[in-house]
Structure 1
């Protein structure tokens, strides 16, 4: 193991989400932020080593580091993923590109995946996301209870084993997607109780895809309240403007006192319905305390497949939801599986897609998009002590960009990731091709 510096001092760090995005001097001791001090301008210091000059092996031993103006963000929080399905595309395809075929095709083979296969996919996807700067993930899990307890439990056991394997690098929350079937409620309830006792983090599902959406929501809240767990449902992932499961969901959130503990993912039908009705539902979400998660990559890929000409794209009303007072996060959803053949768990990429799809390109919009990748999903996930502030755990990513805008203009591949009291990932090559020891300070002055 490399020697780790007891204290690390970082200078010339640009914090785009802190006090106007200026330069800061940061002190970390025992894995926590000890000081966050604004700089009047760039600092020149021979004792601070430029980060681009440090190899991956030298980072943890370095006690004085110069970021030379690079952007530093709190670790990303990807609050809606399907890690168990990730990298399954070679095994199961989707010829039509529709949501229904993706569901049918994956369900037709899920019983053939061993626990080890599912676990390894989760580990691979989680570490890949962590390498791009994610500090915490929330993953929904496909649990095919209709195939029997043994097959359904494979995914739960695989997820908990994977969580332990990557715990030194990234934190994961797991929300099984319990598909409600009134004819098999007893079996589903017994399975849900068992998995919640085993330590899964919350209750998931997709009530709009069942024969009894209201019954499914009622059942999900019975499970969540019995264990005091948060609830995070796929809601209205549909082009049909008449699909309004969110209306019933908000009623149950209010009835059960679940404000701040309930999340709605997708909300595609909001973008298809008449504006006045959408405004009513968004105001109801804000009043109920329901958070929203937009999944731009997957919704752009799956939705509108039956349209010709004016194709609906499926991305929910991001700007309008935020304006209504609804917390809105952006997340990866699916990675290289039948629901989405692309993706890699890179939140900068997701941020760029959100900016495109939601028309967020002004300077203030860029900061809003960054908050959708960091502070807002951290709040949704209930992460305590999140952010760059004295006393909080130091979980952050340094990106090879001089401004927030440049993050999305250049999509810098070079990242340095710090989590769990140590540097966990480091790229070896800066996109700046000049002398790393002098070029940054010259560019800042």
Structure 2
């Protein structure tokens, strides 16, 4: 590998200025990001060798050996951030079918099947899903983990141990946070002890799905009490339902304010928000803003799961994406489930997720497309607390390059070549769509 990195003719769409840039890095950090006055060619650079990564025959070794890489006006993005995945469930569809396609059957069937999964099986699937996401440009992940203590400690901790092993294997190429799904079934005292043990083992965030509990208010309180005790953030599945009466996010907002946890709490899904009247939805969003809540939309999975009992005009199932953005609430888009009973499709490709978001929310203007990119880069990076993010001098080199000349071309999929540089190494996305065997 060359001592440093040198790029010319680069477009940085997150800067929204349509200019070309020359970038240099040393020791894994950006040292120079300079606007170009014009398009540079080989004769304008001091480099002895130039490579165009999308030229026929280009390979990773040539990239690694290059003195300078000419993107010829192609896009560079900071490493993508997927702030809501379920790595432990990925690629389990063969073992866990879902004939009705409903959320209820998915939850039931997975809870029955998880007892039969070995730690090795869980780790293998998680590693496959994480590497696939990395190959598509995701360099940071927050994954929610099932923790079925009611099935026994041995079953519950298999997932934790597998997850920690996967994180260790990917250390140096992908950053992974884990959010524990705090269980609400069974003995609460035993469950709380197990949650505390998981936190001591290295779990980063407390999560869960309190809207599914018999007493959501009590479960939200439990999560916040433990989060305060251990000083960890909270990231909850909230109101993943077509029922406009599901409004646990209001309780989440109240607890956030009472605990002084503004900016440290994330609410995911929020499907019922779209089923409410305009007046009710505005009230909920105002409370979310007051509490400083972050939000995540999971468009692929919600489009697939929600609205299944509707007849005639079927609801989209996604949350109020445009309205949340208009309120100034930090809203990210993420993958959620990959080829499991909750969602039979997916590949951990955030560019695809951004495209699906654009369809679901009718976002297609130039300004919309810039916002979609933010929803898979700097917004989720802020939600999960990434430090030194963005392509800026002094920041670490984690980025994605593509031959797309603009964001429209990128999201249309007409220019699919992508190369990923994460923590000192190159990786191609050209063969990332292999299915799990």
Q: TM-score, normalised by structure 1?
A: 0.93
Task: Give 1:426 shift.
Answer: 5.7
Q: Which residue pairs with 1:408 in the alignment? A: 411
1:271–1:399 Cα change, 3 Å: same
Which secondary structure state, in structure 1, belongs to the residue aligned with residue 89 of structure 2? Answer: coil
- Tell me, in whole angstroms, the C-alpha distance in 2 between the residues paired with 1:424 and 1:94: 34
2:39 is the counterpart of 1:42: yes
Q: Which residue pairs with 1:117 in the alignment? A: 121
CA contact (8 A) 1:262 1:291 kept: yes
2:61 is the counterpart of 1:57: yes
- Residues 352-383 of structure 1 deviation map (CA, whole Å, 9 limit, x = unaligned): 00000011100010000000000000000100
Task: Give 1:169 shift.
Answer: 1.8
Task: Give 1:413 shift.
Answer: 2.8
2:54 is the counterpart of 1:69: no
Task: Give 1:411 shift.
Answer: 5.0
Q: Which residue pairs with 2:106 in the alignment? A: 102
2:165 is the counterpart of 1:161: yes
For residue 387 of structure 2, the aligned residue among 374, 384, 389 is 384
- Tell me, in whole angstroms, the C-alpha distance in 2 between the residues paired with 1:363 and 1:133: 22
CA contact (8 A) 1:32 1:421 kept: no
CA contact (8 A) 1:56 1:427 kept: no
CA contact (8 A) 1:81 1:333 kept: yes
Task: Give 1:412 shift.
Answer: 3.2
- Tell me, in whole angstroms, the C-alpha distance in 1 between the residues paired with 2:357 and 2:397: 27
CA contact (8 A) 1:79 1:381 kept: yes
Task: Give 1:28 shift.
Answer: 0.8
- Tell me, in whole angstroms, the C-alpha distance in 1 between the residues paired with 2:100 and 2:429: 39
- Tell me, in whole angstroms, the C-alpha distance in 2 between the residues paired with 1:8 and 1:394: 9
Which secondary structure state, in structure 2, belongs to the residue aligned with residue 85 of structure 1? Answer: coil
Task: Give 1:408 shift.
Answer: 1.1
Task: Give 1:427 shift.
Answer: 4.0
Gaps of at least 5 residues in structure 2 are: 432-437
Gaps of at least 5 residues in structure 1 are: 429-445
Which secondary structure state, in structure 2, belongs to the residue aligned with residue 320 of structure 1? Answer: helix
- Tell me, in whole angstroms, the C-alpha distance in 2 between the residues paired with 1:171 and 1:315: 28
1:386–1:411 Cα change, 3 Å: farther
User: Which moves more between the two structures, 418-427 or 19-28?
Assistant: 418-427
User: Which moves more between the two structures, 416-425 or 139-148?
Assistant: 416-425
Q: Which residue pairs with 1:179 in the alignment? A: 183
Which secondary structure state, in structure 2, belongs to the residue aligned with residue 180 of structure 1? Answer: coil
Q: Which residue pairs with 2:276 in the alignment? A: 273
Q: Which residue pairs with 2:314 in the alignment? A: 311
Task: Give 1:295 shift.
Answer: 0.2
2:193 is the counterpart of 1:190: yes
- Residues 365-416 of structure 1 deviation map (CA, whole Å, 9 limit, x = unaligned): 0000000000000000100100000000010000120101111122533111
Which secondary structure state, in structure 1, belongs to the residue aligned with residue 13 of structure 2? Answer: coil
Which secondary structure state, in structure 1, belongs to the residue aligned with residue 187 of structure 2? Answer: helix
- Tell me, in whole angstroms, the C-alpha distance in 2 between the residues paired with 1:410 and 1:243: 37
CA contact (8 A) 1:330 1:372 kept: yes
Q: Which residue pairs with 2:300 in the alignment? A: 297
Task: Give 1:185 shift.
Answer: 0.9
Q: Which residue pairs with 1:320 in the alignment? A: 323
2:7 is the counterpart of 1:14: no
CA contact (8 A) 2:60 2:427 kept: no
Q: Which residue pairs with 2:398 in the alignment? A: 395
- Residues 154-210 of structure 1 deviation map (CA, whole Å, 9 limit, x = unaligned): 0000000011111232111111111224x5110111001000000111101000001
Q: Report the RMSD for the aligned CA atoms in angstroms.
A: 1.2
State how many pairs are aligned. Answer: 424
- Tell me, in whole angstroms, the C-alpha distance in 2 between the residues paired with 1:369 and 1:401: 16
CA contact (8 A) 1:31 1:422 kept: no
CA contact (8 A) 1:210 1:216 kept: yes
- Tell me, in whole angstroms, the C-alpha distance in 1 between the residues paired with 2:16 and 2:340: 40
Task: Give 1:40 shift.
Answer: 1.8
Q: Which aligned pairs between 1:200-239 and structure 2 lie closer than 5 A?
A: 200-239=203-242
- Residues 192-250 of structure 1 deviation map (CA, whole Å, 9 limit, x = unaligned): 10000001111010000011100110000111111111110000000000000001000
- Residues 92-116 of structure 1 deviation map (CA, whole Å, 9 limit, x = unaligned): 1111111000000111111000000
Q: Which residue pairs with 1:434 in the alignment? A: none
2:394 is the counterpart of 1:369: no
CA contact (8 A) 2:173 2:422 kept: yes
Which secondary structure state, in structure 2, belongs to the residue aligned with residue 373 of structure 1? Answer: coil
Which secondary structure state, in structure 1, belongs to the residue aligned with residue 225 of structure 2? Answer: helix
Task: Give 1:30 shift.
Answer: 0.5
Q: Which residue pairs with 1:335 in the alignment? A: 338
CA contact (8 A) 1:138 1:174 kept: yes
- Residues 297-353 of structure 1 deviation map (CA, whole Å, 9 limit, x = unaligned): 000000011111121121000110011110000000000000000000001100000
2:90 is the counterpart of 1:86: yes
Q: Which residue pairs with 1:145 in the alignment? A: 149
